[in-house]
Amino acid sequence: MNESEIPIDIHTLKLQDWLISRRIVPKNGQLEIREIHNKIRNALQDMPSNDQLIQLLAKTNINYFHVKEIIEILKQTEKDTKSVFGSYGSQRMKDWQEICRLYEKNSVYLAETAQIFVRNINYEIPGLRKQMTKLEQQTDDCLKRAHDLNKPETQLLAEHSALLEQLGVKEDNLHAEFIEVLSGLPELYAKSLQNIGRIQSAFDLYAEVSGQQQGLPILRHLVEFGNTTVYQYIHKEAPLVVEEPPIRLNLTVGDSGKEAINAGNEIDFGTDDNGGTSSTVSAEIIDYGDFGNVDLPETDGGNIDWGIESAPTDAVEINFDIPVEEYGIVVEGTGMDGGTAKGDQAYTLLDSPTYRDRFFDEIYELESFLRLRLFELNQLESSASNIMFSLMDNMASHDAESIRKLLHETERIIQQTSDEQTRHLFQLKHSPKYANLLATKLQQMNKAVEKLRSNRDLLKQKAVELREQRQQLNPVLDELLQQTRVLQSHIEKDISKRYKNRIVNLMGGVN
């Protein structure tokens, strides 16, 4: 094999050391390159107006090969200054020819070309590709984050729709809609108690075991009379007139969320129109009568005159069929005016805050009792203890299956009377601040959905911008690759000439 056929393989990372070790370029080539660059900056201050020059000088890095192109262009623009001896009188041409000469001295141009080539291979191209990869990752990340916002938006919309469905409103006019749905509250109470008669035997069993025949009074009243007014429960008779307190909804428009939340945190003690804590408590206090403003007559001895005659002259037959109204007597209810249910006594048992709590106390007590009885029956089946048989003799009429059915019916009543819709409407009716609290919650949900949608749109817009930036780097990378390929070709040809046209391969270059 001839020597000219043996290729010269040079690794890109060792190219500059290889050139210095072969004494092709000087060790102090950087100082000479810095001086040449200073001359290039000075020469650029005085350049003719030429489209080719403008396009060529637009390049950020002007190297030896650009200088040769500039000289060729100046040969056309400065040809009028050329003498018969072939020299140019133009200072521009002299400056660029001097720069070219300095490049060719000691092969400084090859040192600079190798330096630019190695920098492009090791830093510029990888850095640009890394930047493009980063932009792609950021684009994918923005799109992923925008997609991830769909889940909380769907959850918020579902919660918002569920709350509207529970309240039975459409959020068009909350004040009017709240008033409308509150009118259906008695129907909800009636529906939840329609099967309460099925647990009548549970009351009897409770009374039999506990020995309290008058236990669970509210539940017994609900089974016998239904969801009557508190007045009827207390006085054992239906009122002639029911004057239920008006519904007050402090639903303000335009309140900030913070103000609404602070308003919702205030405790409503449920004061009635009379200024008392609750008319129910006062109604349950025994009324011992009222003497009014009539002064009591006194006898001489200071004793009370009971108005009893010592001896009736004739026996008088009393006619009990004469209505008392004929004698001008007015019958008044205890704490009420002529059978009129007012204040808390005008509410039904399930609608009164006080008696609703008592209702739940009783029904939870009944549920616990049934659970305990069911547990005892299960223990009885698995135990042959005579003591257990003697304790359960009074429950012979109820087996585990019947107790389980009663417990199931009791749990169903608890669930129906304390479901989400009933609780919302109950609070809405008896807490003036609750309407504002619900309106604020709905408003915050809407704002949260709007914010999620806005953030999603911003992320999508940012993804579009990042994609455009990534696409703008494509021509930059192509130009840099093309420039590096040209430099690689120049280096390989220059070294090949120095070694009898042997093939030179720069390993790790641009393919």
Q: What is the 3-state secondary structure (H, E, C) of 7-61?
A: CEEEEHHHHHHHHHHCCCCCCCHHHHHHHHHHHHHHHCCCCCCCHHHHHHHCCCC
Both tokens of residue 352? 């009164």
Question: Half-sphere exposure of residue 340, counting CA atoms within 13 Å on the CB side?
Answer: 8
Predicted confidence at residue 396, as pLDDT, reads 53
In 3D space, the residue among 119, 28, 110 whose CA is nearest the CA of residue 63 turns out to be: 110
How many other C-beta atoms lie within 10 A of the C-beta of residue 130? 10
In which residue ranges of the chain is pLDDT below 50?
Answer: 254-337, 384, 386-391
* HEC readout, 422-444: HHHHHHHHHCCCHHHHHHHHHHH
Residue pair 19/110 in contact by the 8 Å Cβ criterion = yes
Render the burial of 47-75: b for 16+ CB within 10 Å, e for the rest: beeeeebeeeeeeeebbbeebeebbebbe
Compute the distance between CA of residue 222 and CA of residue 220 in angstroms, rounded to an integer: 5
Per-residue 3-state assignment (H helix, E strand, C coil) for 281-345 = HHHHCCCCCCCCCCCCCECCCCCECCCCCCCCCCCCCCCCCCCHHHHCCCCCCCCCCCCEEEHHH
Contact 350, 194 (CB under 8 A): no
- Distance CA(374)–CA(402), nearest Å, equals 9
Is 476 within 8 Å of 290 (Cβ atoms)? no
Write b or e for each residue in 430-447: b if 16 or more Cβ atoms lie within 10 A of its Cβ, otherwise e: bbbbbbbbbbbbbbebee
Question: Of 391, 435, 387, 355, whose CA–CA distance to 171 is shortest?
Answer: 435
Compute the distance between CA of residue 80 and CA of residue 88 in angstroms, rounded to an integer.
8
Give the Cα separation of 270 and 357 in Å (integer). 14
Say how far apart CA 152 and CA 408 lie, in whole Å. 37
Residue-level pLDDT at 118: 93
- Let me know: does 338 contact 332? Beta carbons within 8 Å: yes
Q: Considering only CA atoms, which of 9, 7, 12 is closest in space to residue 117?
A: 12
- Triad 217, 221, 223: Cα angle to 5°: 120
Alpha-carbon distance values, 275 to 242, 244, 265, 268, 343 (Å)? 19, 15, 22, 13, 10
Q: In this predicted structure, what is the pLDDT of residue 439?
A: 87
What confidence score (pLDDT) does residue 100 get?
93
Long-range contact pairs involving 323-328 (C-beta distance under 8 Å, separation at least 24): none
3-state secondary structure 51-111: HHHHHHHCCCCCCHHHHHHHHHHHHHHCHHHECCCCCECCHHHHHHHHHHHHHHHHHHHHH
Tell me which residue of 88, 193, 167 sits closest to 415, measured CA to CA.
193
Backbone phi, then psi, for 403, in 5-degree steps?
-65, -40
Q: What is the pLDDT of residue 85?
A: 63
| Residue 335 contacts residue 282 (beta carbons within 8 Å) | yes
Nearest alpha-carbon partner for 379 in 388, 387, 371, 367: 388
* Nearest CA among 341, 339, 178 for reference residue 244: 341
> Which tokens hold the place of 1?
């094999």
End-to-end CA distance of the chain: 27
